[in-house]
A and B are shown apart, each in its own frame.
Chain A
């Protein structure tokens, strides 16, 4: 799950200061789960803005709603229609960065502002506590490290930890942060596979992570099937010779 955190109110207030008609949009998936950008947060933020407006002696129009997933064309399209119809001057989205990008590219001349800081891929350790677990590096090596990721969970993303900064299972940067490599070693000891760490592996291909530039994924089976279907549809049109 993508974990995000709502931006401070002052920042959001400033983004929206120039606009008289604002759309506030939540996302019904990851950011709802991490309580940063679901409908409840849309309602709370809208209320905050209204109170601040009243305080400042002004009033403006808010349009609010939540999209099930703000990163899918079919789910975002109705919003684009609504934007055309209602003509907000700006959109504040509480979706993660993905949703914000996706909307910004499609919505035409209306500015889109982020209402959350998108933080990491993580898990709920318990209600209201989220921890980073994956860095999306594009070349998963979890099979080598007992299922615990050295890229995401070692502060230095070391492939050969722990480093000298590991102290009683904690990382030198903070006593709050577990040493990722200490976790790996403990886990592999548990599994009786610690000796695997002595094996030599080929160097990682960092070009598959963000270092290789923005990534795109094409699922050949799905994509090709879609193309064939489109071709067949095209062929049916009158006047088109096969």
Chain B
């Protein structure tokens, strides 16, 4: 039995558990750290076809739940995701996907936003013939029409959409169902099922005096005009009503369109404002003024249009039952002069197109809909995304699309409804304080933003992507939760080595060893030192080393270029130059590189193994002196190398054939030099090792 095996106890890393689509987060971050950007992309897209988009605008619940928060700051997961998607654009276009053979059934998706297109993708992959109907002239939904370009360039939206459509999905733009085509038409065209994924494209307004004045615009149409480059005259002073993320987008867009003074008025107090804190901060940096805890009372307008707005003090937004139920102190009022008022207080859907579809609405005007089967009241018509879930993020829309597709597939195949509830993964939870305080702090690599004064001048993307070196440095910070030590109980002798080795005080022995996944920081020192070979590290092991070393078979010896196996710490690489195995087994230099996520994990047997297979020398290249992320690991490695050298002396081939080096600066800066040093040492030791053995 394997004790505390993360998979055995079914624990998911907290980042993955928090993601609405359960992106295999730590797996893709490890893939980045190992230079496998294409694998990282596959992992990302396996969960989320809108990964390029989410790399820009996701509200990243993964980061909010990153266990590194207990140590210092979360991993910049969104930044890393964007890096991967930016790095693999070409590969993405050429990769092959496994599509099930056509099953002869047709599905219609209404609405080409993230939810509809995700469902379209999933159904296409399952062999359905899918057509997406979009009322406007371009796909993307809110991603293309509302989210400002400075946050999400349109070509990024199209990167994801083109990739989805490349599965053979037909997109019909400028086709409004209920107007250009009726539901009956769809049935007649042979669509066996229909998904309503029209989103919340209608801005809500407020009933206050003066609301019909000239100079009042609703948020979504305003954002759409800005996104499509339609000129909007704003004047000098703009008031934005609303405190959510759309209101922030509206305010920042107004700033970029030339408004000198932009004031955001929200019912909510500063703390209650529903917009993401970082977006509020970015808006403030851009000179946007916040007026929290104020509600609109009346609009003052003259012949020329809006002149200002009267506000009343909002004393409470939510009642005791946490329901939206604002209360005001009418006696406290204030006035704000302005030329334009933009209203961003929420969105809704226009369901008038459903007439004749058989889809019923609730008395409150919402869709009658089952949140688990995704079915509406009309047979064969399903619904997903914000239309039914209410306002949410892009990744939540994607999650809804996945689930809807699964429900539709089941219905199409069996004629019965399947409940597809939200899947909650067993979360590994927070990193306990007593472990976190022993972990080494590593500075988060922040992505630079364009200076606020400069960025408000245009709609250029204001956040840059990581450089490769930055991404690799940031990926190194990931603890790879839930991939740590796994104890095979039958082998354990309860010798206490793990307890004594563990730099984080995690391992315990209670009859047999225990390394709880919830606490393990995955350094692997216990596995490297276990005298019973009872502990393995799920993220790295002997088998991997063996596989790499088997490449030595058949390599010809050359006295000028002794065969040297170099175990290198991957965390010192600033590029893929050394991370990706070359075409040739050995470089021109006779070096077989084995990249290890921390060489302090290497066991004595792993250090010796190259000599079994004909290597003439071994170089172990650790990180820079004092730079290892794991406390005590450098000393432990040194002791193990020393023992391996002694064994080589005993065997008679000489401990001088193995050396432990420390990286100087970076891999790129120092490894060639270290290999040269190693080569010279081995040459002077003679080509003794394994000399007369033919391979």
Seen from chain A, the residues whose Cβ lies within 8 Å of a Cβ on chain B are 8-10, 28-29, 32-33, 35, 38-41, 43-44, 47-48, 50-52, 54-55, 57, 66, 68, 124, 127
Q: How far is the CA of A149 from the CA of B495 in the complex (A)?
A: 25
Question: Given A51-B608, A54-B614, A68-B490, 14 other A-B contacts at CB below 8 A?
Answer: A8-B650, A10-B650, A32-B531, A32-B532, A33-B493, A33-B494, A38-B532, A48-B647, A51-B648, A52-B651, A55-B653, A55-B688, A55-B689, A124-B496
Judging by beta carbons under 8 Å apart, are B647 and A44 in contact?
yes
Q: Which residues of A contact B494 (CB under 8 A)?
A: 33
1/0 per residue B672-695: CB within 8 Å of A?
A: 000000000000000011101100
Asked if A51 meets B532 with Cβ closer than 8 Å, knowing A43-B605, A44-B604, the reply is no
Judging by beta carbons under 8 Å apart, are A52 and B652 in contact?
yes
Residue B500 at the chain A interface, CB threshold 8 Å: yes
Judging by beta carbons under 8 Å apart, are B693 and A57 in contact?
yes
Determine the residue in chain B with the shortest Cβ distance to A52.
Answer: B651
Query: Among the listed A32, A33, A41, A44, which residue makes an inter-chain contact with B608, where contact means beta carbons less than 8 Å apart?
Result: A44
Seen from chain B, the residues whose Cβ lies within 8 Å of a Cβ on chain A are 490-491, 493-497, 500-501, 530-534, 603-605, 608-609, 611-612, 614, 647-648, 650-653, 688-690, 692-693
Q: How far is the CA of A8 from the CA of B609 in the complex (A)?
A: 20
Q: How far is the CA of A43 from the CA of B607 in the complex (A)?
A: 12
Q: Is the interface of A mostly helix, strand, loop or mixed?
A: helix
Minimal beta-carbon separation of B103 from chain A (angstroms):
51
Q: How far is the CA of A66 from the CA of B492 in the complex (A)?
A: 11
Determine the residue in chain A with the shortest Cβ distance to B604.
Answer: A44
Q: How far is the CA of A55 from the CA of B611 in the complex (A)?
A: 9
Q: How far is the CA of A32 from the CA of B534 in the complex (A)?
A: 11
Minimal beta-carbon separation of A93 from chain B (angstroms):
16
Asked if A55 meets B531 with Cβ closer than 8 Å, knowing A28-B491, A40-B603, A44-B604, the reply is no
Query: Among the listed A9, A38, A57, which residue makes an inter-chain contact with B531, where contact means beta carbons less than 8 Å apart?
Result: A38
Q: How far is the CA of A54 from the CA of B653 in the complex (A)?
A: 11
Q: How far is the CA of A124 from the CA of B494 in the complex (A)?
A: 13
Minimal beta-carbon separation of A83 from chain B (angstroms):
21
Q: How far is the CA of A84 from the CA of B640 in the complex (A)?
A: 37
Judging by beta carbons under 8 Å apart, are B533 and A51 in contact?
no
Q: How far is the CA of A165 from the CA of B32 in the complex (A)?
A: 66
Q: How far is the CA of A119 from the CA of B651 in the complex (A)?
A: 24
Q: How far is the CA of A47 from the CA of B615 in the complex (A)?
A: 13
Minimal beta-carbon separation of A30 from chain B (angstroms):
8
10 contacts between A and B (CB under 8 A): A9-B647, A32-B495, A33-B495, A39-B491, A51-B653, A54-B611, A54-B690, A54-B693, A55-B690, A57-B693
Minimal beta-carbon separation of B509 from chain A (angstroms):
11
Q: Which residues of A contact B497 (CB under 8 A)?
A: 35, 127
Among B495, B500, B603, residue most surrounded by chain A Cβ atoms (within 10 Å): B495
Q: Which residues of B contact A48 (CB under 8 A)?
A: 608, 647, 650-651
Q: How far is the CA of A55 from the CA of B652 in the complex (A)?
A: 9
Q: Which residues of B contact A29 (CB under 8 A)?
A: 493
Q: How far is the CA of A68 from the CA of B693 in the complex (A)?
A: 37
Q: Which residues of A contact B534 (CB under 8 A)?
A: 39
Determine the residue in chain B with the shortest Cβ distance to A42.
Answer: B533
Determine the residue in chain B with the shortest Cβ distance to A124.
Answer: B496
Q: How far is the CA of A10 from the CA of B688 in the complex (A)?
A: 18
Asked if A9 meets B530 with Cβ closer than 8 Å, knowing A32-B493, A33-B493, A40-B603, the reply is no
Determine the residue in chain B with the shortest Cβ distance to A36.
Answer: B531
Query: Among the listed B533, B609, B688, B689, which residue makes an inter-chain contact with A47, where contact means beta carbons less than 8 Å apart?
Result: B609
Judging by beta carbons under 8 Å apart, are B605 and A47 in contact?
yes
Minimal beta-carbon separation of B170 from chain A (angstroms):
59
Judging by beta carbons under 8 Å apart, are B612 and A54 in contact?
yes
Q: Which residues of B contact A39 (CB under 8 A)?
A: 491, 531-534
Judging by beta carbons under 8 Å apart, are B493 and A38 in contact?
yes
Asked if A51 meets B651 with Cβ closer than 8 Å, knowing A33-B493, A33-B531, the reply is yes
Q: Which residues of B contact A51 (CB under 8 A)?
A: 608, 611-612, 648, 651, 653, 689-690
Q: Which residues of A contact B530 (CB under 8 A)?
A: 40
Q: How far is the CA of A54 from the CA of B534 in the complex (A)?
A: 28
Q: Which residues of A contact B647 (CB under 8 A)?
A: 9, 44, 48
Determine the residue in chain A with the shortest Cβ distance to B614.
Answer: A54
Q: How far is the CA of A38 from the CA of B492 in the complex (A)?
A: 10
Determine the residue in chain B with the shortest Cβ distance to A26.
Answer: B532
Minimal beta-carbon separation of A41 from chain B (angstroms):
7
Q: Which residues of B contact A57 (CB under 8 A)?
A: 692-693
Q: How far is the CA of A39 from the CA of B532 in the complex (A)?
A: 5
Judging by beta carbons under 8 Å apart, are B531 and A41 in contact?
yes
Q: Which residues of A contact B493 (CB under 8 A)?
A: 28-29, 32-33, 38
Judging by beta carbons under 8 Å apart, are A40 and B608 in contact?
no
Judging by beta carbons under 8 Å apart, are B533 and A35 in contact?
no
Q: Which residues of B contact A8 (CB under 8 A)?
A: 650
Q: How far is the CA of A29 from the CA of B495 in the complex (A)?
A: 9
Judging by beta carbons under 8 Å apart, are B614 and A38 in contact?
no
Judging by beta carbons under 8 Å apart, are B605 and A40 in contact?
yes
Minimal beta-carbon separation of B687 from chain A (angstroms):
12
Q: How far is the CA of A50 from the CA of B605 in the complex (A)?
A: 12
Q: Which residues of A contact B693 (CB under 8 A)?
A: 54, 57
Q: How far is the CA of A28 from the CA of B491 in the complex (A)?
A: 7
Among A29, A50, A51, A54, residue most surrounded by chain B Cβ atoms (within 10 Å): A51
Q: How far is the CA of A66 from the CA of B488 in the complex (A)?
A: 14
